[in-house]
């Protein structure tokens, strides 16, 4: 097995941040469908309107970024950001004034 396979600079986190209109039933439906499809693709809620997904490589992250782009609703703003596991580990999180640890890195093994 390659020693760099689980390197903190190779493992990626894909972040999807969005602000979608919910002023009409159609917009609300589109926003809910977008959120559901993110969850179906393995994204988890990080904070309101921000979902994250752990990816074992840049190539895998690109697959999910491409998939998110194919799910974009007709209106609203969506940002997609990809950062390394090392950068993600340096995030400082606070709940009120209490510092929290970032979510643990998931080690995913590939069988082929």
- 5-50 pLDDT tens trace: 557 788 999 999 999 999 999 999 999 999 999 999 999 999 999 9
Average pLDDT value over all residues in the chain: 88
For 12-100, CATH gives 3.30.70.240
Q: Where are the domains of the chain?
A: 12-100
Is residue 25 within 8 A of residue 31, CB to CB? The reply is no
- 104 pLDDT higher than 80: no
Look up the pTM and report it. 0.80
Q: Are strands 77-84 and 98-100 parallel, antiparallel or unpaired?
A: unpaired
For the record, the structure tokens of 30 come out as 């589109």
Query: What is the Cα–Cα distance from 55 to 65, expressed in whole angstroms?
Result: 11
């Amino acid at each position: 097995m390659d020693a760099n396979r689980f390197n903190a600079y190779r493992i990626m986190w894909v972040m999807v941040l969005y602000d979608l209109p919910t002023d009409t039933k159609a917009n609300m439906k589109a926003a809910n469908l977008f959120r559901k499809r993110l969850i179906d693709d393995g994204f988890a809620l990080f904070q309101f309107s921000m979902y994250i997904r752990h990816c074992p490589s840049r190539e895998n992250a690109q697959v999910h970024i491409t998939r998110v782009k194919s799910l974009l609703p007709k209106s609203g703003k969506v940002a997609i950001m990809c950062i390394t596991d090392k950068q993600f580990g340096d995030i400082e999180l606070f709940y009120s004034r209490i510092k929290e640890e970032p979510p643990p890195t998931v080690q995913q093994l590939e069988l082929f």
